[in-house]
Amino acid sequence: MKDYNKLSKRQKHILVFMEQYLEERGYPPTIREIGVATGINSTSVVNYNLNKLVQAGYLERTDNVSRGMRLVAPNGKKDKVVQLASASINIPLRGEIVAGEPVPAYGESEDVIEVTPAMLGKTDSKEVFALRVNGDSMIDAMIADGDIVLLRRQETANNGDMVAVWLTSRGETTLKYFYNEGARIRLQPANPYMDPIYEDPANCQVQGKVVSVIRQVR
């Protein structure tokens, strides 16, 4: 059994920061980010404490790999939320999607963004595309104007799924929660000041389901 009480205050601080960082982003922080967050000015001191966490059984590291760290759960198994950082993946950025009143915005683009495998979970990267969010109708879902959403291509959705929907009658696309109410589709914003959009099911074409969000630091 690992004894958490034997860790130094600094090492405990590093573990807490790493757990929070991983939960929010799905991939490990860099040594420099750990140093800034924990008030350690020297990367060699950060390295020393990380190695102590490895020796104590709380962490695994891969040499010569940026962010090459993995937390180890108390039972000795890898924490399923934490995945070892590896080579980045290029995902096509297909333009903008409106999280607000829908406007013609969805289109093809040659741009790509780099993401880590952890951000895709078990989703095949070939089935993923990215859109930049325009608007604040999904603000209560922690998606703000300027953020990037990663979506898995699919043409169906379950109630409560956050999806990109093409509204054929309007020639417009939007990002909303999807609800099939039988005679109509309700596209629900996550903003108490905005009304839902109601459409005939024949006019709604699901383009993809959100699998991850990249928050833009402001």
Q: List the catalytic residue out of 86, 176, 209, 212.
A: 176
Start-end of H helices in the chain: 9-25, 31-38, 43-55
* Residues 69 and 63: beta-carbon distance below 8 Å: no
Whether 212 is catalytic is no
- Contacts by 123-127, CB closer than 8 A, 24 or more apart: 123/152, 123/211, 125/89, 125/91, 127/152, 127/153
Active-site option among 2, 137, 169, 209: 137
| Eight-class DSSP state of 25 | H
Residue 137: active-site member: yes
**CA 164 to CA 161: how far, in whole Å?**
10
* Catalytic positions: 137, 176
